[in-house]
Amino acid sequence: MRKITLQLIVLFALVFNAGILGQSLPQSTGRNGIVATAHPLASAAAIEMLKSGGNAVDAAVAAAFTIGVVEPDGSGLGGGGGMVIYLKKEHKSYFINYYGRSSERASEASFKSGRDNYSGKAIEVPGTVAGLLMAHEKFGSLPLSKIMEPAVRHAEDGFPIDQTLAKLILDNIDNIMSDSVTASVFLENGFPRMEGELLLQSDLGKVLRTIAEKGRNGFYEGQLAESFVEGIRDRGGVLTEKDFSSYQAEITSPLNGTYRSYDILTSNIPQSGISLIQGLNMLENFDLQASGHYSESAKTLHIMAEVEKLVYADRYQFLGDPDFVSVPVAGLTSKDYALERYNSINQSKLDPPRYRDADYGNPGAFDKAFRKEPALVMEPAEGHTTHLSVIDKDGNAVALTQTLGLFFGSGQTVSGVLFNNAMTNFSYNVENVNYMQNGKRCRTSITPTIILKNGNPFLILGSPGASRITTTLIELVVNVIDFGMDVNEANLAPRFYCQKFEDYLHVESGINPEVCSELEKMGHQVKVYNGIDLFFGGAQMIFVDPITGEYSGSADKRRGGIAIGY
């Protein structure tokens, strides 16, 4: 009965609460602000901040703390992420990298991918709290207690489990059962909680209250940090109190690029905005409009798949923590290098016949600062995340992506916090740029992005989906810019995925079967997913009409999110 009552309250609040959403069903358009997240309660939290006079950063931070509660499989206090911020009045943009960092003693853990994915050994120092608080401190306007109130409320009062979360609990039962504390949250009598049941996270609520009261130090120092270190050590990890106290989020400029007449602001290295820019640079050499949409044109899809494959080959070869390795940023983002890579594509057939045999290029020839060329090793293809996009009435915008690593991270919960397993993102081949070293940031696929047209926000987007993130974003961008789709059409359009360390070209069934047949004749092995599939990510997008200035948002139906405007 309590479950049903709470569901009704939440539904009532979402639909009828004028203080949150206005007098009608949630809109996906607006002029005063819009937010797109993977959960209605996170979107509602952001809109609540905007309506209270907060700006896009206030709204994004509130949504980010809330999404960590109501979508606990994808992100949370124990994880990390990155955000791109655009401030309209100042015409300035920033990138905050708050991804985790390996312990100063990480090598002592002897982490082995696969064997240790769901243990304390897999945990990096979490960056979410530092990153969100840095954004709020530098750019926010509302009190922290106000911003964190929705997250605290949903943790302590509970919320109904939605179908996406119910499915993920079932799918990740091994991970959840690897830790009795985690199991006590998501299971009842040893079996998964189901859709509609109430999920209470009272211990997490206490941690959120501590952060709201004490700020960064409440999480990274003192009693709470001590309990984290002890609990992680009990689970095989090696994080130290110094790891926590010394952790700092980093603020820099975003990585800049252009696509046709648009400016791209995206996550800086070792996050993967660089791959988005490289892929779009390569596609600039191809007339997508003339060739037709990839769902109806085998040639377009073949070219895009080949571009994606080559981008991944370069990414695996060259992208690592710039504090540890030389990354040819100028080369990888060079238009000339992109043309060279594009020209290497055989336009009529798969060449070489296996994706795995694709070679990386030589961006160093286009980058005087680049120093060396290490060896190539793949990384895990799993990894699950969340993205949210926000814009306020003044045109300030935030694209934010955060993660726990795999779904439910390490599966290890200490003092209410479910910790990441970002150590799985490192390479364990000493020759690789992404080789695990103490105190290093791993390469990650996350790519929060803002695209400007004539200096104004045009598209705010990002997606979860591990190695599918880059391909999904490339497809979304061309759907809007080259094929003129609105954000909902672009988001719902069928997707595909291809990369170097794959044997199949993965496609959703919305791709014309004749296109798939043609692709197989060209040498691709096509794997079809019926309908739309969470495998291809869960993009949250906002579009700003350059003529009317109206905002429209789209939450990905693959993920169960919602865009709300007012």
Partner 1 sequence: MIVAILILFFTSLSVEAQKFKQPVLISSAGQSADVKLVKMLAQRQGLNATTILMAKSADLTGFKTLIIVPGFSSKGLGAAGISQQEEMERVKALIKSANDLKIPIVMIHIGGSARRQGQSDAFNQIVAENSKSMLVVKQGDEDGFFTTISKAKNIPLTLVVKIAETEIPLGNFFK
Tokens of 181: 């504390």
Does residue 190 belong to the site contacting partner 1 (CB under 8 A)? yes
User: For partner 1, which residue of 172, 425, 479, 499 counts as binding (CB under 8 A)?
Assistant: 172
Does residue 196 belong to the site contacting partner 1 (CB under 8 A)? yes
For partner 1, the closer of residues 264 and 555 by Cβ is: 555
The rounded Cα 115 to chain-centroid distance in angstroms is: 25
SS3 category, 33: strand
User: For partner 1, which residue of 181, 194, 330, 365 counts as binding (CB under 8 A)?
Assistant: 194
Does residue 166 belong to the site contacting partner 1 (CB under 8 A)? yes
SS3 category, 115: coil
CA atoms within 13 A on the CB side of 94: 19
Q: Which amino acid belongs to residue 30?
A: G
CB 421 within 8 A of CB 313: no
Q: How far is the CB of 282 from partner 1 (least distance, A)?
A: 27
Phi, psi of 427 (to 5 degrees): -90, 150
SS3 content of the chain, % helix, strand, coil (to 5): 40, 20, 40
Does residue 188 belong to the site contacting partner 1 (CB under 8 A)? yes
Q: How far is the CB of 435 from partner 1 (least distance, A)?
A: 26
CB 237 within 8 A of CB 244: no
CA quadruple 510, 161, 25, 53: dihedral sign:
negative
Tokens of 29: 């358009």
Task: Kindly provide the b/e burial profile for residues 459-480, where b requires at least 16 CB atoms within 10 angstroms of the residue's own CB.
Answer: bbbbbbbbbbbbbbbbbbbbbb
Q: How far is the CB of 408 from partner 1 (least distance, A)?
A: 12
Does residue 170 belong to the site contacting partner 1 (CB under 8 A)? yes
CB 83 within 8 A of CB 401: yes
Q: Which amino acid belongs to residue 387?
A: H
For partner 1, the closer of residues 205 and 409 by Cβ is: 409
Q: How far apart are CA 29 and CA 36, in angstroms?
A: 11
Q: How far apart are CA 208 and CA 219, in angstroms?
A: 9
Tokens of 134: 């840095």
Does residue 163 belong to the site contacting partner 1 (CB under 8 A)? yes
Which positions from 501 through 540 interact with partner 1, judged by CB under 8 A?
527-531, 533-535
User: For partner 1, which residue of 24, 189, 261, 548 counts as binding (CB under 8 A)?
Assistant: 189
Q: How far is the CB of 199 from partner 1 (least distance, A)?
A: 14
Tell me, by CB under 8 A, how many residues bind partner 1. Answer: 24
Q: How far is the CB of 529 from partner 1 (least distance, A)?
A: 7
Q: How far apart are CA 321 and CA 434, in angstroms?
A: 7
Of 166-174, 268-276, 335-343, 514-522: span binding partner 1 (CB under 8 A): 166-174
Q: How far is the CB of 194 from partner 1 (least distance, A)?
A: 5
Per DSSP, which regions of 38-91 are E strands? Answer: 80-87
Does residue 192 belong to the site contacting partner 1 (CB under 8 A)? yes
For partner 1, the closer of residues 24 and 189 by Cβ is: 189
CB 70 within 8 A of CB 562: no
For partner 1, the closer of residues 77 and 555 by Cβ is: 555
SS3 category, 526: strand
- Cis before residue 352, ω within 30 degrees of 0? yes
Tokens of 221: 């120092």
For residue 96, give the nearest of 392, 398, 381, 367 by alpha carbon: 398
Which member of 385, 403, 424, 471 is catalytic? 385
Of 20-28, 161-169, 366-374, 447-455: span binding partner 1 (CB under 8 A): 161-169
Which positions from 36 through 75 interact with partner 1, judged by CB under 8 A?
none
Does residue 171 belong to the site contacting partner 1 (CB under 8 A)? yes
Does residue 191 belong to the site contacting partner 1 (CB under 8 A)? yes
Sheet with 255-259: list strands edge to edge. 29-30, 551-555, 540-544, 456-461, 449-453, 262-266, 255-259
User: For partner 1, which residue of 108, 137, 174, 296 counts as binding (CB under 8 A)?
Assistant: 174
Tokens of 148: 């964190």
User: For partner 1, which residue of 6, 13, 173, 200 counts as binding (CB under 8 A)?
Assistant: 173
CA atoms within 13 A on the CB side of 447: 30
For partner 1, the closer of residues 194 and 198 by Cβ is: 194
For partner 1, the closer of residues 157 and 171 by Cβ is: 171
For partner 1, the closer of residues 101 and 558 by Cβ is: 558
Q: How far is the CB of 203 from partner 1 (least distance, A)?
A: 24
Q: How far is the CB of 8 from partner 1 (least distance, A)?
A: 17
Q: How far is the CB of 176 from partner 1 (least distance, A)?
A: 10
Of 69-77, 152-160, 191-199, 545-553: span binding partner 1 (CB under 8 A): 191-199
How deeply is 308 buried, as exposed, middle or buried, from its count of CB atoms within 10 A (0-12, 13-18, 19+)? buried
* Residue 385 annotated in active site: yes
How deeply is 509 buried, as exposed, middle or buried, from its count of CB atoms within 10 A (0-12, 13-18, 19+)? middle
Does residue 167 belong to the site contacting partner 1 (CB under 8 A)? yes
For partner 1, the closer of residues 73 and 475 by Cβ is: 73
For partner 1, the closer of residues 129 and 539 by Cβ is: 539
Of 16-24, 168-176, 274-282, 429-437: span binding partner 1 (CB under 8 A): 168-176
Q: How far is the CB of 207 from partner 1 (least distance, A)?
A: 28
Q: Which residues bind partner 1 (CB under 8 A)?
A: 163, 166-167, 170-174, 188-192, 194-196, 527-531, 533-535
- Please give the positions annotated as active site: 385
